Amino acid sequence: MLDLESLRLFSEVARKLDNGFRRLPAFQNQSPGMARLAEVLNATAERLQDNYPYFHPLYAGQMLKPPHPVARLAYALAMWINPNNHALDGGRATSAMEKEAVAEIAGMYGWKNFLGHLCGGGTMANLEALWVAGQLLPGKKILASEQAHYTHGRISGVLQLPFESVPCDARGRMDVNALAKRVGRGDVGTVVATMGTTATGSVDPLPEILALRAKHGFRIHADAAYGGYFVLTENLGEDAERAVARIGEADSIVIDPHKHGLQPYGCGCVLFRDPEAGRLYKHDSPYTYFSSAELHLGEISLECSRPGAAAAALWATQRLLPLEKGGEFAGGLERGRKAALALFGKLREDVRFVTAFSPELDIVVFAPKATSVSGASVLSRKIFEAAARRDLHLAVAELPVRFWEENLGAAKRDRETIACLRSVLIKPEHFDWVDRIWGLLSSSADEILGARN
Ligand SMILES: *Cc1c(COP(=O)(O)O)cnc(C)c1O
C-alpha cells in the first residue's frame, strides 16, 4: 500500500551526499546498534498504524495526504546534515534552495522583485503578513470574512490589532456589499481575501475587493494557503478563475506548500509584493551572521531556526514538477477538481442528499435530506460513521444553514448551522476512485436512511 519502491534509491543518493565530505578525517559515528534500533522502530511502526490511511484514495475527508516521494526523500537526505535556514552559517545550500523555490512560487503570481520565505505553516505565514500589516498601518482594523480561517481573528488578538469579520454570501464568499459598507467607515487597514476557504474551498471575490481598494486605499492580504496553487489550473469556474488570476495584485500572499504543494508538514510560505517590508524585520543578533554580507533568511523572518530540509524538499519537488500551467503538477490539481465536480454531480441528482453550492475548488459539502436541519445533522454523523466502517473516510463540518437555502425545501430550520459531510478530494487519484467512493457512500446512506424509515 505505501510507496516503498522509492526507498531503494535512498542509500544510493545518501552515498552521493556522503562523497562530498570524503576528505574529512574518519571518526566513529554514534550508532545504538541495529538490534536496539530495530526494536524501537518496530514499536514506532506499530504505533503509527493507528492512523486513518491518508495515502489511500478512500481517505477523502480532511485536507491530508502524504508528501510526494521526491519531497520525502529530499527531506530525509537533508536530515543526515540537518541544516538550519536561519543563517547561511547553518544552511548554506538549503538557503539558496529556499530562495530559488520561493522565487518560483512568487513567479506563479508574476512577482519578480518581492520579499518572501518559507515558514512553519499557514498560521505562521499569516502571522507574519498581519504583523507587517499592523506595523505599516498601526491601530487600523483587520477584516476577514466569517468563513476565513479562525487563525486571523486569533492572530489579530496576539498582535493586538482590532479585528472584525465580514458576512459571507450564500456561497461562502466574502459579501462585497457588506465589505463596501464596512470600509466606507474609514478605519480599515487590511482586508484578508481568502482564496479558497478551508471549510468549502470558496474563493472571495478578489476583483471586487481590488476595486474597493482602489477607492479606499486599504491593504489586501491574500490568504491563499489552501487555494494558491489553483492559479495554475485551467478548469475552474468563471468567478474563481477571475479571482485567482489576480492574486498577484494583493500586497501580501500566503500559500501552503504542505497543503497542495506535495510537501510534508512544516512548510508554509509568505510573500510581500514590496521588498521594503524587509526593513521591519531588522534586528541585531550578536552571534548569528558571520559567514557573509549576503542576505541570511533569518533577517527577513520572524522564526529563527527553520528546517533547511523543508527547503530541500520543496526545491526538489519543483524541479521534478515545475509550477507551470499545463504541466504534470497542474494536471494533478485539475484531476482533484474534476473528482469534486463528479462527486457533486452524483450527489445533486440523488434524492437522498442535499448539496450546498457547486464546489469552487476540490471540496464538496453535502448532507442527507431530512425533515429538519437538526435531523440532517444527526444523520450526517451517522453516515460518517457508517462510511468509516466501510473504510471510506469523510469529514464532518458545521456550516451556516444559509449555504443550503436553495435546496433545503420544507425542512424545518431549527438550527443556525447544519452538521454536514465534507470531502476534500485533494489527491489526483481521487478522480479514478469517484465511482468507488460514491458506491460506498451510497450504501452507507442506505444503511442509515433505510433504518430511519
Ligand atoms: C490551512 C489554512 C490556514 C492555516 O494554515 P496551517 O498551515 O494549518 O497553519 C490558514 N488559512 C487557510 C485559508 C487555510 O486553508
Q: How confident is the model at residue 288 (pLDDT cuts 50, 70, 90)?
A: low
If we measure between CA atoms, which residue out of 266, 313, 268 comes closest to residue 71?
313
Residue range 247-259: mean pLDDT, rounded: 98
- Cell representation of residue 242: 477571475
Q: What is the mean pLDDT of the chain?
A: 96
The pLDDT tens digits for 338-382 are 999 999 999 999 999 999 999 999 999 999 999 999 999 999 999
Question: How would you classify the pairing of strands 353-355 and 363-368?
Answer: antiparallel
Burial of 451 per CB tally in 10 Å (0-12, 13-18, 19+): exposed
Going along the chain from its start, the domains and CATH numbers come out as 78-320 (3.40.640.10), 328-452 (3.90.1150.10)
74: Cβ–Cβ under 8 A, 6 or more apart, which residues? Answer: 309, 312, 313, 315, 316, 317
Q: What is the CB neighbour count within 10 angstroms for residue 341? A: 18
Please say if the pLDDT value at position 453 is more than 60. no
Give the percent of the chain with pLDDT over 70.
97
- Inter-residue contact 306 to 119 (CB < 8 Å): yes
Name which residue sits closest to atom 6 of ligand 1, judged by CA. Answer: 122
Residue 228 in contact with ligand 1 by CB distance below 6 A: no
| All three cell numbers of 90 | 547553518
Residue (of 296, 273, 267, 288) closest to 132 by Cα position: 273
The helix (run of H) or strand (run of E) holding residue 71 is helix 69-79
- CA-based R_g, the chain, Å: 24
Nearest ligand 1 atom, CA 268: 7
- Report yes or no: 299 and 284 within 8 Å, Cβ to Cβ: no
Average the pLDDT over 398-420 and give the result.
95
- Residue 6 C-alpha from the chain's centroid: 25
Q: How far is the CA of 126 from the centre of ligand 1 (A)?
A: 8
CA distances for 323 relative to 63, 115, 292, 427, angstroms: 20, 19, 31, 17
Q: Residue 406 pLDDT more than 70?
A: yes
The one-letter amino acid at 113: N
Q: Which H or E run contains 411?
A: none
Neighbours of 43 (CB within 10 A): 10
The mean per-residue pLDDT over the stretch 187-211 comes to 98
Among 62, 63, 123, 127, residue to substitute to test ligand 1 (most atoms within 8 Å of Cβ) = 123
Q: Which residues pair with 222 in a beta bridge?
A: 193, 253
Question: Phi/psi at 19 (nearest 5 deg)?
Answer: -55, -30
Distance, CA 123 to ligand 1 centroid (Å)? 6
Examine the pLDDT at 286 and tell me if it is beyond 70: no
Residues 176/184, Cβ–Cβ less than 8 Å? no
The three cell numbers locating residue 64: 491530508
Predicted confidence (pLDDT) per residue in 71-114, tens digit: 999 999 999 999 999 999 999 999 999 999 999 999 999 999 99
How far apart CA 156 and CA 174 sit, in angstroms, is 19
Determine which residue's CA is closest to atom 3 belonging to ligand 1.
122
Indicate whether residue 198 lines ligand 1 (CB < 6 A): yes
